[in-house]
Amino acid sequence: MEIYQHIFEYTPDALFVIDRAGRIVLANAQAETLFGYDRSKLINQPVEMLIPARFAALHTGHRARYITDAHTRSMGGTAELFALHKDGSEFPVDIMLSPMMLHGDQLVLCVVRDITERKAAQDALARQTTELRRLHAELELLANHDGLTGLYNWRAFYEYAEQMLKTAHRRQENATLLMIDLDHFKQINDRFGHAEGDRVLQAVASTLKAAARDNDIVARHGGEEFVVAALGLSEAESLVAAERLRAAVAAIENMKTRITTSIGIATLIPQTQKHETRRILAELLDKADQALYAAKHNGRNQVCHFNRLTDLAQPATS
C-alpha cells in the first residue's frame, strides 16, 4: 500500500480525490504546487474553489450529472478547460476523471495537468499558420492580379478564359471576348502626367468591374487595354454589353479630361468537334483585336463586332 501512496503523492500531475458532494478528500504535493494552497486548506473544501468563477456554476451542474453516470473521462478533450490559482490567476489545464469505490463510498479521482506551455505552443503554431495562410493568399493575389488596378492580370485571364471556353464547349453556349482600349491615353499621360494616367486606369478598371456581370472575367490586358470574357451572349447581346461598358466609362467624372474607349468584340459559337482551347482563345483574341482597331479607325468611342466587319481597318494610333 505504501508504494501506491508514494505514487499518489509524487506523481507529476495534480491529483485529487473528490466525494459525491464535490468536496476534496485527498490532494497530493503537486496539487499544492500547482494551485498554491497548502493541502490543509483544500481538504473538505468544494472543488469549485479551484475553478474560475465564470465556470463554477456550470461546473456544479456538470459534476452532479457526472456522479449519476460516472465513467472514465480521458485527457485530450476538445473543450478548453481552465483552473484557478490561489492568487486569482487562471491557467489552462487538461483533466482526467476516473470513478472509484472506497469502503463503499463513491469517489472520483481527478487528475489535473497544467498545459500552459503546450497551449502557448499551440497558440503560437496557430498564429504562424494563420500568418502563412495570409501570406499565401497575398502571394496568390499578387500572382493573379494587376498591382495597379486590382483586376486579373494577363496570366490569370488566360487561365480563367480557357476554363470559360471549356465550359462553353461543354454547355454548347457562346463565348465572347471584348477588347477594350482607352482612346488617346498617351495624350493623357503626356499632358497630365503618369500619376493622372494611373488614376484614369484605376477608375476605368473599377467601372468595368462594376458594369460587367458577376460571372464575367475582367482583366487588364496591359498598358491601357482591358479585356472582358463573357459566357452565353449572342452577337446582339454582346454588342449591348459592350455598349453598356463604353457608356459607363464615358460617364466617369472627376477626371482632368473626358475618358472614352473603343471596344472590339469577337464571339465563338458552339463547336461540335473537340478543339485546342489555347489556340481557340488566341484566335478569338486576334479577332477581338481586329474589331478593336476597326472601332478606332472608324472614329473611336464606339464598339465593333468582328462578324460585322466588311473591310478590316488598318490599325490606328491610340
Decide: helix, strand or coil at residue 16.
Answer: strand
What length is written for the chain?
A: 318
DSSP lists the bridge partners of residue 264 as 179, 304
* Exposure string over 112-150, b if 16+ CB within 10 A, otherwise e: bbbbeeeeeeeeeeeeeeeeeeeeeeeeeeeebbbeebe
224 catalytic, yes or no? yes
Backbone angles phi, psi at 151, to 5 degrees: -75, 170
Nearest to 27 by CA among 109, 128, 132: 109
Query: What CA–CA distance (Å, rounded) separates 191 from 184?
Result: 11
Q: Give me the catalytic one of 173, 224, 235, 253.
A: 224
134: alpha, beta or left? (left if phi > 0; alpha if psi -120 to 50): alpha
Task: State the distance between the two ends of the chain, measured CA to CA, in whole angstroms.
Answer: 97
DSSP character string of 96-158: EEEEEEETTEEEEEEEEEE-HHHHHHHHHHHHHHHHHHHHHHHHHHHHHB-TTT-SB-HHHHH
- In the block, cell 497548502 appears at 38
According to DSSP, the β-strands at 14-19 and 303-305 are unpaired
Helix 235-250 and helix 194-211, axial crossing angle in degrees, nearest 10: 140
Cβ pair 244, 200 in contact under 8 A: no
According to DSSP, the β-strands at 261-268 and 175-182 are antiparallel
- Would you please indicate which residues are annotated as catalytic (active-site) residues? 224
